[in-house]
Amino acid sequence: MLQGKHIVLGITGGIAAYKSASLTRLLVKAGAEVQVIMTPSAREFIAPLTLSTLTGKPVITEFFTANTGEWHSHVDLGLWADAMVVAPATACTIGKMAHGVADNMLVTTYLSAKAPVFVAPAMDLDMMAHPSTTANLNLLRSYGNHIIEPASGELASHLIGKGRMEEPERIVEVLREFFSSKGQFAGKRVLVTAGPTYERIDPVRFIGNFSSGKMGYAIADALADRGAEVVLVSGPVGELKPRNPRVEVRKIESALQMLDECQKVWPAADMAVMTAAVADYRVENRADSKIKREGNLAPELRLVENPDIAATLGASKKPGQLLIGFALETDNEAAHAANKLKRKNLDAIVLNSLRDAGAGFGTDTNKITILSADGSAKPYPLKTKREVAADVADFISSLLK
């Protein structure tokens, strides 16, 4: 899986830098081409000569070589990389990456990288547990970076706790898993819906809901990262954009418009993942001009039912097509979700409950259980929405097999 892959290995100034020699050797042995970038303080922990000997390439630390004036382009490196790995990642570099403090070659390359970035933190247990570190790691996660959690054990301070950089063998395994999942959806055409729908009351008001689109956009990215051609039909979600440039976004406002776009895509799609929170009702007596206060009389809104988009697609599902729904519930969760799965002719439904802290609308995290048409239920722990999207993608991939 790593044969011929271009890996930028960023090494920062922590005692675990000694492990990066083994990591480099394992990557090279697995067939990867490795370019090492070190922060200035990393050179205090491990000699660049060791790493350049292992990779067969000069180690880059500075923006240019002083005696020749040769410029090292972080932009070119960012484009060259199939993956960037920062191991060990100190609290300082994690903070700089999270906030875009581009004062060295490693962080500028990170900011230019188009490839996935893996961060393996290594630090003392108190630094690791500090809210600043937690917040910075959460920021990096929310930008789509992969955090390779540190292990617990004896640290350089001789204290025992969480902060040891994950072993090089495990880091290589994480990269292998990542690249092996990449082709899972090659050639598959996927429809994803995301965000809320807005149902207009008059030109300035609407009925909507709290969906931010984060879950649906993460699903679209996860599937596109794994090779799918994704059309994302999205309700109003502000400035949110997919991270993967291959996701085609079609913006809509109302449920009727969402249905229309979905019906254009569905006949030729291999699967659809319905993450959107679609308004079940629209206003029948919508006003063409702004409704004004008139005396003490509140305006009367007549609601009519919107079409059920998932059920409409489910009714025309052909053999070989997969239809995955989402269900946000507040009570009697499993029963409601199972009922929707059946009623809409879904192959699986991803249940999230507002009773779980950190799950549902607007958050960067979610906690899901995937119910299948065969009656099985697979619960997952609380994770970031990007990690949840990866789990959903892996689950769908298992259905393809």
Smallest separation, CB 249 to ligand PMT (Å)? 15
Q: Choose one: 82-90, 135-143, 207-215, 284-292; the region binding ligand PMT (CB under 6 A).
A: 207-215
Please tell me whether residue 389 binds ligand PMT under the rule CB under 6 A.
no
234 phi and psi angles, rounded to 5 deg: -120, 135
Q: Of 164, 340, 367, 386, which one interacts with ligand PMT (CB under 6 A)?
A: 340
Smallest separation, CB 197 to ligand PMT (Å)? 8
Are 352 and 379 contacting, i.e. CB atoms less than 8 angstroms apart?
Answer: no
How far apart are the C-alpha atoms of 328 and 280, rounded to whole Å?
A: 13
Q: Please, which of residues 266-295 interact with ligand PMT by CB under 6 A?
A: 274-278, 280
Closest CA to 144 of 221, 53, 52: 221
Confirm whether 209 is a catalytic residue.
yes
Number of residues that bind ligand PMT (CB under 6 A): 29
CA distances to 101, 134, 158, 164 from 154, in Å = 31, 21, 6, 8
Q: Which residue out of 136, 138, 145, 209 is catalytically annotated?
A: 209
How far apart are the C-alpha atoms of 215 and 233, rounded to whole Å?
A: 13
How far apart are the C-alpha atoms of 269 and 357, rounded to whole Å?
A: 35
How far apart are the C-alpha atoms of 215 and 9, rounded to whole Å?
A: 30
- What is the x/- site pattern for ligand PMT, positions 106-135, by CB under 6 A? ------------------------------
Please tell me whether residue 308 binds ligand PMT under the rule CB under 6 A.
yes
How far apart are the C-alpha atoms of 143 and 140, rounded to whole Å?
A: 5
Q: Which is nearer to ligand PMT, 167 or 329 (CB)?
A: 329
Please tell me whether residue 214 binds ligand PMT under the rule CB under 6 A.
yes
Residue 386, both tokens: 């990007």
Please tell me whether residue 352 binds ligand PMT under the rule CB under 6 A.
yes
CA distances to 196, 226, 368, 383 from 356, in Å = 21, 29, 9, 12
Smallest separation, CB 344 to ligand PMT (Å)? 6
Q: Which is nearer to ligand PMT, 146 or 214 (CB)?
A: 214
Q: Choose one: 145-153, 174-182, 243-251, 303-311; the region binding ligand PMT (CB under 6 A).
A: 303-311
Cβ partners under 8 Å of residue 327, min gap 6: 333, 336, 337, 340, 349, 350, 351, 352
Residue with tokens 């955090």: 147
Smallest separation, CB 367 to ligand PMT (Å)? 10
Q: Which is nearer to ligand PMT, 85 or 277 (CB)?
A: 277
Q: Of 84, 328, 370, 393, which one interacts with ligand PMT (CB under 6 A)?
A: 328
Residues involved in catalysis: 209
Interface residues with ligand PMT (CB under 6 A) are: 193, 195, 211-216, 255, 274-278, 280, 306, 308-310, 325-328, 340, 344, 352, 360-362
